Amino acid sequence: MRNRLFFYLLIMALVTVVVEKAVSGEENRPSAQTVIARSDAVRNPDRPFRLDLRLTEYVNGSERNEVILRVYSKIDRTSGQFKNLVSYMEPPRDMGKAVLMNGTTMWFYDPASKSSVRISPQQRLVGQASEGDVITVNLAKDYSAKLVGPHDGEALNDADRKPRKCWHVELTPDNDGAIYGRVEYWVEKETDRPVKGKFYSDSGRLLKIAYYHKYQEQLGVYRPSEIILIDAVNTKLVTTINSSGHHAMEIPDSWYQREFLPHLKVE
């Protein structure tokens, strides 16, 4: 009799714990798409803006190269995705080079030859200008999101090794504008701040690991002022991206034309 009572209590306890966890998790759980949209809003201002990026490349822990870019970003009203104009300011050999990224319309301008070359989405990932795109990409527009992991979130250390309670979201492309085959993303539950991202190729190869940290107020919202980007193919290669100089400004649509690239003067 005591054995049977013990057995019933055990089953009831098990069911209670599981149901309680499932129900409480579902009640407070936002949709995955909402999580990503909110985290996009943390990274990206809701109006046209300009910012400067300092990219510092480390190889085996030693600083090896530094690039400074100026990015002019504006949301395309049709696609909901950012259009970016990226201009090189440093090093001197790259001064004046510019990349236009407007959906699948992408051009690279070289002031030395005074010519523009059309580039593919894959080609935009070559070189440092792509990092400007990593920063402003609106993931919610190009990817379908799905919450994975435990119902009430996942504990994850941020780049400063502080524990954060995060939503773990898996993103898969839902249009041709998506440049990654899959993305894993961790967003802090309390603040909607992105903490970490893992970016995969179409073939499933892990390409980049990004850590978002050093949150500072920029254009009215706390945004990551530093992103640590680990090259997952060559893990000895790590790049930090420091952003500054956020400046809301009117950017005419005509700037996002290849003919405008020679007129883009960075001062």
Partner 1 sequence: MRKWVLLVLFLFFLESHQLWAQEAGDENSDLNLIPKSIETANKEPSRVEHTQMSGRSYLEDALTGWLNRVLLVPVPTKSPNWQNRTSLDFDFSWQLGEKVRLSLSNRLNALEGDTITFPSGENLRNDFREGFLSWEVFPRTYLEAGRINLKNGIALGYNPTDFFKSRTTVNIASIDPSALREDRLGSIMVKGQRIFSNGAVTLAFSPRVESQSPLLITQHASFNPLFGQTNSDNRFLASLSYNIVDLNPQALVFIDNVGTHIGANISRVMSPSIVAYAEWSGVRKASLTKRAVTFGQNTGSLPQGAPLLPQTDDGKNFQNDLALGASWTSSFNLTINLEYHFHQAGFGAADFNNWVSLGSVTPRLASEFWFIRQYAADQQEPLMQHEIFLRFDWQDIIPSKLNVGGVMFISPYDGSVLTQASAQYFISRNWTVGLYLGGVLGSASTVQGSFPWSASGVLQIVRYL
Amino acid at 111: P
Q: Which is nearer to partner 1, 182 or 258 (CB)?
A: 258
Alpha-helical (H) ranges within the chain are 2-27, 32-43, 121-124, 129-136, 139-142
Amino acid at 19: V
User: 252 preceded by cis ω (within 30°)?
Assistant: no
What's the start-to-end Cα distance of the chain, in Å?
A: 86
How many angstroms separate the Cα of 63 from the Cα of each of 43, 95, 162, 238?
Answer: 26, 21, 25, 9
- Minimum distance, C-beta of residue 243 to partner 1, in the bound complex (Å): 7
Minimum CB separation of residue 107 from partner 1 in Å reads 8
Q: Is 157 helix (H, G, I), strand (E, B) or coil?
A: strand
| Those residues with Cβ within 8 angstroms of residue 6's Cβ, 6 or more apart along the chain or in another chain | none
Closest contact distance (angstroms) between CB of 137 and partner 1 is 15
Integer CA distances (angstroms), 154 to 20, 35, 147, 237, 254, in order: 18, 14, 11, 28, 44
Complex with partner 1: residue 38 or 58, whichever CB lies closer: 58
Provide, rounded to whole angstroms, the least separation between the CB of residue 17 and partner 1.
6
* Closer of 41 and 206 to partner 1 (Cβ): 206
Q: Which of 119, 121, 83, 114 is nearest to 97 (CA)?
A: 114
Write down the least CB distance from residue 111 to partner 1, Å: 7
CB closer to partner 1 out of 191 and 201: 201
d(CA 24, CA 156): 21
Closest CA to 178 of 145, 210, 143, 212: 143
In the bound complex, what is the minimum distance in angstroms from residue 82's beta carbon to partner 1? 16
Nearer to partner 1, 28 or 115 (CB): 115
Helices and strands counted in the chain (H then E): 5, 14
- Please say which residue, 30 or 173, places its beta carbon nearer to partner 1: 173
Question: What residue type is assigned to position 83 of the chain?
Answer: K
Q: How far is the CB of 120 from partner 1 (least distance, A)?
A: 5
